[in-house]
Structure 1
Amino acid sequence: MTKSAKLTLGLAVGFFYLPIAVLTLFSFNASKLMAFPLSGFTLSWYEDLFGNAAFLGGFVTSFLVSQPVGIFAALIGLCAALALTSPRLAWRSGLIMLIVLPFLVPKTVLSIAQAMLMNWLGFGRGAVALIAAQTLVAIPFATTIIAATVIRLDRRLEEAARDLGATPWQSFRRIVLPQLQGAIGAAYSIGVILSLADLTISMFMAGRTQPLSLIVASEFRRELKPDLNAMQVVVLLLTAVIVIASEAYRRRRMVLRNRISGQTLGLTKGI
């Protein structure tokens, strides 16, 4: 890597992580004024955060909404990925465009269209509408993650299972699905993270449901308080935990799969 490339990479990383570092630093600052020099170290903003009923209620709401979003995104993404990678699929490019379209459309336009559709269907605005809208945005990401794993699978294993008398469902459940568990877990994690971080869709679809992103935006418009810094740090830590846990699970599944493949290869050579 050339010096200019290293410098560009360093500037990009600094531009991304420096605000997070400053945010974390001010969350421990003893003064309400977010300015240098710092006044001292304190944990009082975190104490205020965990004593704030509105923030805790918003976090619980966001967590409860994000779980079905992650589950539905992973399930629909799995079905879409299997369809996209099927050699017998016709109009593949059209299906790809339909799946990717929610990612390309501006969120404001998409949110207004979803709000109009939900009203027409009689759902109005609320938790159900919010889950459906956020799931639609998470599907392209989940499909891409799972499809990237599906195309690397050894189809001969599934064909061998079919030759030995397994039904299509049995070969999928016992051969294909175990190899996709890591990708499905990653797709679920992406759906959860996108739901927790969403603001635009929540503004149009939440109704009386108040996720954490709406509460933070409302507080931010009135006053930038230090406990908001503490809250953002907690959310960042939670997101990091989700990502690390998902990656650890994926790596564990990969190591286990490679170990099983190595044992099978050794038995084959012995025979």
Structure 2
Amino acid sequence: MLVFGTPRAMTRRDIDVVIAQFTEAARLAYQAGFQGVEVHAAHGFLLSQFMSSNSNQRDDEFGGSTDKRVQLVLRIIRSIRKEVPKSFCVGVKINSADFKDEEGMAEMLRQIELIQQEEIDYINLSGGSFEDPQMMSTNSSLKPNSAESRSSIREGFFLRTSEEIRRRFPDLTLLVTGGFRSRNGIAGALDKNACDLIGLGRPAVKYPGLPNKIMFNKDISDDEARFDVESAPGGGWLASKVRSVGAGEETKYWVTAMNKL
């Protein structure tokens, strides 16, 4: 039997606690010598839930409109900035998976507009959530025959979205994370000015020396400079029925791999 808790709306005190916790985490990171933090507003976690009309059903100052749904993120950014110097990098990771149609795209662009008006250094465009876990699997729903074709589908899940963001906000520093598995794919995204920076997750875990050993290794040709990763072992029958279980298995697999480094 599966038992799930009953959701409830966060109180204003709950929200104030969350803002304080994000702020304290950033302050401690600064004091510990880190050069920046990234506010995680993606992948179906709390801040992403606030930003999305799919999950945010509030009718107060934190919900009911596109602008209000992003207020929690904005207040966290402002609170962090009061505690750290301007030289301390603050980025925001946002989720493209919640914004799949024209209306959703318009909402995302409006929220990005509001976020980039704050004192942030970059936006990290990612995607997938526990509702629609694009980022949680290395397998594409499309099944082309060649590894090269599969890679071209995976590489830059979100490049078309990033190109639109780039067109609307040309001065915004944009990082794109998701699906990059080759030197050619990364170079192509940067050459076409779809983004300023590329983020790597699972490849960096599987290949800890990836930059020196593959990316910038002149002894490896562009066509051979690849860093594919395997899917996590299947989660069994339940994972096939409940997609979030499969997503959790994928996350657990790579967290375990990180702990072994």
Fold-level similarity (TM above 0.5): no
Q: Give the alignment's TM-score, normalised by structure 1.
A: 0.26
Q: Compare the two structures and name the one with the higher helix fraction.
A: 1
For the pair shown, which has the larger CA radius of gyration, 1 or 2?
1
